[in-house]
Structure 1
């Protein structure tokens, strides 16, 4: 169990470092117009926007699934 947690944590850390390095490379070696196309107009907060989008998508999906399960439960109890 602890080995699995270790390897998952290590994989996440390597992924975070790789994404950070890739974003730094893109910022340093691409023209402004291309950077704006890839990263959007607010280039300093890409990670925050991405995380916010993931959380919003998760919550939307979760609410839809809860509504579906509630409807199924109500129909079964009638």
Structure 2
């Protein structure tokens, strides 16, 4: 179990470092218009927008799955 936690933490850390480096590279080596196309107009809030989008998508998917399971098992036990 500790190996899994270690490797998961290492993967998350590597992902954060790679995304940070890639974003810095894009900011340094692309013209402003291309950067705005890739990162959006508000380039300082890319990470928070991405994280909030992921959380919103996860929550929406979780609720959809819960509703599906509720319908499936409610029908099974009521009928």
With normalisation by structure 1, the TM-score equals 0.90
Unaligned runs of 5+ in 2: none
Structure 1 equivalent of residue 10 of structure 2: 10
Structure 1 equivalent of residue 73 of structure 2: 73
Alpha-carbon offset, residue 66 of structure 1? 1.1
Q: Deviations over 1:15-50 (max 9, x none)?
A: 111110110111111101000110011100111111
- Structure 1 consecutive aligned stretches of length 4 or more whose deviation exceeds 6 Å: none
1:60 and 1:52 map into 2 onto residues whose CA distance is 12
Structure 2 equivalent of residue 53 of structure 1: 53
With normalisation by structure 2, the TM-score equals 0.89
2:7 and 2:73 map into 1 onto residues whose CA distance is 40
2:43 and 2:29 map into 1 onto residues whose CA distance is 14
Unaligned runs of 5+ in 1: none
Q: Would you say 1:27 and 2:46 are equivalent positions?
A: no
Alpha-carbon offset, residue 3 of structure 1? 2.1
- Cα RMSD after superposing both structures: 1.1
Q: How many equivalent residue pairs?
A: 78
